[in-house]
Amino acid sequence: MPDHADDTSAAPGVAPLLSAADIRRIAAELDLRPTKSWGQNFVIDPNTIRRIVAAAALAEDEHVLEVGPGLGSLTLGLMDAAAAVTAVEIDPTTAARLPATASAMRAGASERLAVLHGDAMTVTPEEVDAVRPAAAQGGPTALVANLPYNVAVPVLLHVLEHFPDIRHGLVMVQEEVADRLAAGPGSKVYGVPSAKAAWYGPVRKVGTIGTQVFWPAPRIHSGLVAFERAAQPPVAGVEREDVFAVVDAAFAQRRKTLRAALSGWAGSASAAEDALRAAGVEPQTRGEALGIADFARIAAARGAQVTEETA
């Protein structure tokens, strides 16, 4: 029996991708039952994979970090577009099977693909570097992933924080989460994920994916979110952790004005007001009206106040 069924959507000369029949066959061989706890919804439509890879705009020499490769649907598409792929998979069964699937369908897969059995919530550059594919010229420069719905935002923020060489990427997440990540100040869905993602650079929603291209089919649509890392942070001289503390405090009680919402963070309402005014922000403003640069200026202003108070 061939290792894969025909991908009838592939143009002549184009390497085939996993079909719905392939996915179900491999899952049956592994006695695999997708679990909600690991967010396992496998893409079974090759054209959707091609769409995702095209939207990721990868360079041929790039090393891609993929989170949650599952049975390899997206992995094969990434291997066609980039020099190397390192896939981080929490499921030991699918992690063990993926290299064999890739080797059966792509020449030189052993030099171009590395599979790391681990948790993307805690994965480090050192762990990724330890399994780096031979074809990779360095660490990952792009993140492309079908992220598990239940941990999509923390995984994305973890990767952006700990992998500074990742310059851009595309992630597929629950559509509601995609809207939040890409939202700007003033939007009804703008909040903590929006502001924190914007710290690293521009984020935009670039597409919607229906439910029927997955197995098992989720109840809701997915969204494609593209990001690019900015060359510099929004405001120089302020630490990310300090800015994120302001963001968390500002949105913890959305209905409160920033003077009230930031009183605990600053130590008092008057200290919060002083920091806000020093940052050029009206104290009666609410958090959803501010961009990430505003939050950064507030953090910087409070830092300057603390320095003066302790001098």
For 103-159, the pLDDT digits (tens) are: 999 999 999 999 999 999 999 999 999 999 999 999 999 999 999 888 999 999 999
**Are residues 279 and 142 both part of a single domain?**
no
- The number of distinct structural domains making up the chain is 2
> Is 47 annotated as a binding-site member?
no
Which of these three, 199, 228, 257, is where a domain ends?
228
Compute the distance between CA of residue 292 and CA of residue 206 in angstroms, rounded to an integer: 21
Which of these three, 207, 228, 249, is where a domain ends?
228
> Is 41 annotated as a binding-site member?
yes
**Are residues 36 and 136 both part of a single domain?**
yes
Asked, for residue 29, whether it belongs to a domain, the answer is yes
Say whether the peptide bond before residue 16 is cis (omega within 30 degrees of 0).
Answer: no
**Are residues 87 and 181 both part of a single domain?**
yes
**Are residues 171 and 290 both part of a single domain?**
no
**Are residues 128 and 84 both part of a single domain?**
yes
Asked, for residue 234, whether it belongs to a domain, the answer is no
> Is 150 annotated as a binding-site member?
no
Phi, psi of 200 (to 5 degrees): -85, -20
Beta bridge partners of 85: 64, 113
pLDDT at 45 over 90: yes
> Is 146 annotated as a binding-site member?
yes
> Is 45 annotated as a binding-site member?
no
Phi, psi of 304 (to 5 degrees): -65, -40
**Are residues 65 and 117 both part of a single domain?**
yes
25 vs 308, residue with greater confidence: 25
Closest CA to 61 of 157, 133, 128: 133
**Are residues 168 and 293 both part of a single domain?**
no
Tell me the per-residue pLDDT of 261-273, one tens digit each, with 9 for 90 and over. Answer: 999 999 999 999 9
Asked, for residue 298, whether it belongs to a domain, the answer is yes
> Is 68 annotated as a binding-site member?
yes
**Are residues 128 and 219 both part of a single domain?**
yes
Domain range enclosing 303: 240-310
